[in-house]
A and B are shown apart, each in its own frame.
Chain A
């Protein structure tokens, strides 16, 4: 037992000594956690894609406009179409029917005119009196018939008869569903009878007799006759006439066409440059739903360009004045089209080259320019319109040097302290995979609140510094191989960097100036004046960031 105890003591002591060796200074330093460093110092380098998208020509243009601007041919060749309705007028905006307040008073019911009235079954019945009233018009209209949406007929009857009667008024040519409009009045025997009634009518057709309206009057007296000096008179008025359609001749009316514009918004932000479209065209389409002849006189064609900063006027290249076709039948329309290309309107290239933001005409029109023509008669409907559309067609074949500028508000100041503290270096990368026949240059100028430049990025004025390099083109100017361009901008924390983050504290604005230039060389370096855009063209835009941050702070 002593032996065991001896060995055990020896062994335990040996182990304890080994363990205590740890407590030597050398070992102790490695395990003295009171000496743990408390200042974090961490400087990772991080690289990550930030954003990307793939933009076709359609996407790029839609960025400026919600309209469907593009059309393409079967092989995908793109046209830019600006189609704008510059004028539209409805018939009831220039044709109206005046109130008929001056129909003469019908006052033939007295003893002088009808002294001996026939007696029928105890009634003294006057003979039917037909009266034709002249329908007064303002513009020499020759009306055959009018269908009214609505009108009011006002009938006033005054009677000094001392006998009761029954008065029937019939408008035989004023019908609805084959029934003529009639009105019955019952004069009393008071000797001072007055009757006034306004009837609102809808959907009646009035057939004119050479601009006259026929009314038949029938009067019966009950158990008595008329004394000398007594009279019954009738007044009729037609008011508030709202026509549905008019047939006949509606007279001459001026159409006041206000200046309206075609907004070419791809040029909104243009400030410099020239765009050459090889084969632009302009089409003016006038659509006439009115069954009457119209003549249009174009004064001038005007454009407004941001680049020029002014209006430019051009002569109208087509027939002037222009007679507009009219439809043959009601419910139809007739088009009159004026098409201009660079052959018959050479200035068109110049107009487009000015990057016009607006295109518009000065136009006057007149209906029935030759006055009354018996045949064919006019017909107008209250919803019939006369429309003028202007369509600018820009086939995307040509060349361009085109610049635009934009200003974006920035506020780095609020985050500046953190950026300067934790930021060592950051490389901002742009990647453009271009399958378009265009190169692009750009500058981004950071300015202070007074637009004084602080730093400038992308000084891409040299060919080798393009932000976007055109796709390789074939001999027809079509992109065949995409080209990638990578541009890195390095921001650093210190004056040794070209772009020192410390300078950016005062930045309030970023002014972006970009120039797009069509490729002027094909794949073998030959000069290449014209490029073409197709629907399969795209630019894939990617942004990435590689940065080194530094966190160096004591822990609490």
Chain B
């Protein structure tokens, strides 16, 4: 059994970079964890307890949520298998099909990764109220790049980008690790309406945030190919691993110099750092439209963290046009003038972008998500649902749609099958289940089971698992089934 668990976890973790937003869970009514997506949810059971902090169950079925999403390309698009050559082809190597990659890319490509570890979840039902306490560690990372960047790397600036602006901006990394303490409450306002809210204290641990990333490169074809480079970047960091102590242009070495000091991080200190404080809130509501139709709406992860420890902010803003080396001083054959001109040129290029480094507090925001959905109850055992999801980041709205079928064939087993259109990918078939035995409720789900079968072709995979201890729900479930 242990070997099986070990093997299974290994298999899961080896694929963990292929996941998505867990929309499948949204309509799984037996799961207390769906309050993370809509705080108005009230579990059928009187009490539930779960999380990694719970002895035995918390360690055997480690409650974890992992998510990988890529709105542009799959693994096989990036690292291509060429059957004729029987080779894996990396970009820039012989036989690589750049067109195949570029055809897959979106204008702006995002790769997102999330890992949530649920240390504690407690829920208690009292009359029309449902209260909850949750402690989660969350790591959320996102990197992005513009399609033009790949075209630029592949073609250089001398083809598509002649007289066209190459947008090399949208390039950046945003990664945040924080601990979330949540107190939630849900109340049935009426027979039809239930609302809920989760208030969260956030304590940031690590952060890198590309607040602004604009890099435009334009090569003019109607002239001697002058190159205009416009850059406007702001990057914040709060991390204990290294500190940039100085930043300057070395005219002798002809390069930008970042002087830094590295530190041996004390992970205990990092984890117990409560100085980067933030607040967050989740809002949700459910409305029973009629006997068959129920509507859902939620807005989660509204919040911010103010970063105060080990903070650094790097900025750069300017526009430079390289129209060639001005050789007029060379005509004078005056060595002193030529040297001065060359030095001035170097200084000009650097100073025009005004690179600066500051050590001041900053505020980063969580990535808010909005859900809007509805279910249609065919009968006691079968429901279907439609969920629209959107997240907001990098000044854009990123939607997805999930159709689901929820089946509750017995009082101890609920399963769901979903189909999602996520990140411009249309081959996302999700499955999930929760199985109850006595006081134990085990659950596992993914939005894209195909990602585990054909990982090379998938762009979105996620996975959530865990175990809850549930109390006071048998009677209620039976009643529901009888009804």
Chain A residues within CB distance 8 Å of chain B: 1, 3-4, 7-9, 11-13, 15-16, 18-22, 26-27, 29-33, 35-42, 44-55, 59, 62-63, 429-431, 486, 542-548, 552
Residues on A with beta carbons closer than 8 Å to the beta carbon of B158: 44-47, 546-548
Residues on A with beta carbons closer than 8 Å to the beta carbon of B93: 36-41
Q: How far is A147 from B324 in the complex, measured between Cα atoms in Å?
A: 66
Q: How far is A547 from B88 in the complex, measured between Cα atoms in Å?
A: 29
Least CB separation from A429: chain B residue: B224
Cβ < 8 Å to A, chain B residues 393-445: 412, 433, 435, 437-438, 440, 442, 444
| Contact between chains at B92 and A54 (CB < 8 Å) | no
Residues on A with beta carbons closer than 8 Å to the beta carbon of B89: 36-37
| Contact between chains at B155 and A44 (CB < 8 Å) | yes
Query: How far in angstroms is the closest Cβ of chain A from B222?
Result: 8
Q: How far is A369 from B96 in the complex, measured between Cα atoms in Å?
A: 96
The binding surface of chain B is classed by DSSP as mixed
| Contact between chains at B452 and A55 (CB < 8 Å) | no
Q: How far is A4 from B87 in the complex, measured between Cα atoms in Å?
A: 45
Cβ < 8 Å to A, chain B residues 80-101: 81-83, 85-90, 92-96
Residues on B with beta carbons closer than 8 Å to the beta carbon of A55: 328
Besides the known contacts A15-B8, A29-B83, A41-B93, 11 further A-B residue pairs in the complex with CB atoms under 8 A apart: A4-B440, A4-B442, A7-B435, A21-B453, A27-B454, A30-B88, A33-B88, A41-B96, A45-B155, A546-B158, A548-B158
| Contact between chains at A429 and B12 (CB < 8 Å) | no
Query: How far in angstroms is the closest Cβ of chain A from B65?
Result: 15
B269 within 8 A of partner (CB): no
Q: Which residue from B7, B226, B322 sits with its C-beta under 8 Å from A16? A: B7
Q: How far is A460 from B289 in the complex, measured between Cα atoms in Å?
A: 83
With contact pairs A27-B455, A36-B90 given, residues A16 and B8 touching in the complex (Cβ less than 8 Å): yes
| Contact between chains at B11 and A19 (CB < 8 Å) | yes
Q: How far is A13 from B159 in the complex, measured between Cα atoms in Å?
A: 53
The 3 closest A-B pairs by CB, nearest first: A19-B11, A544-B224, A44-B156
Chain B residues within CB distance 8 Å of chain A: 1, 4-5, 7-8, 11-12, 14-15, 75-76, 79, 81-83, 85-90, 92-96, 153-159, 162, 219, 221-227, 322-328, 331-332, 412, 433, 435, 437-438, 440, 442, 444, 449, 452-456
With contact pairs A15-B12, A30-B456, A37-B90 given, residues A47 and B219 touching in the complex (Cβ less than 8 Å): yes
Residues on B with beta carbons closer than 8 Å to the beta carbon of A16: 4, 7-8, 11
Query: How far in angstroms is the closest Cβ of chain A from B345?
Result: 12
Residues on A with beta carbons closer than 8 Å to the beta carbon of B86: 29, 35
| Contact between chains at B226 and A49 (CB < 8 Å) | yes
Residues on A with beta carbons closer than 8 Å to the beta carbon of B449: 18
Q: Which residue from B8, B95, B328 sits with its C-beta under 8 Å from A53? A: B328
With contact pairs A49-B323, A544-B224 given, residues A19 and B95 touching in the complex (Cβ less than 8 Å): no
A/B interface sample: 18 pairs, CB < 8 A: A4-B437, A15-B11, A20-B11, A21-B452, A21-B453, A22-B453, A27-B453, A30-B79, A39-B94, A40-B92, A47-B158, A47-B221, A48-B157, A48-B225, A62-B332, A542-B323, A542-B324, A546-B162
Query: How far in angstroms is the closest Cβ of chain B from A484?
Result: 9
Which of the listed residues B8, B81, B224, B226 has the most CB atoms from chain A within 10 Å of its own CB?
Answer: B224
Q: How far is A13 from B3 in the complex, measured between Cα atoms in Å?
A: 12
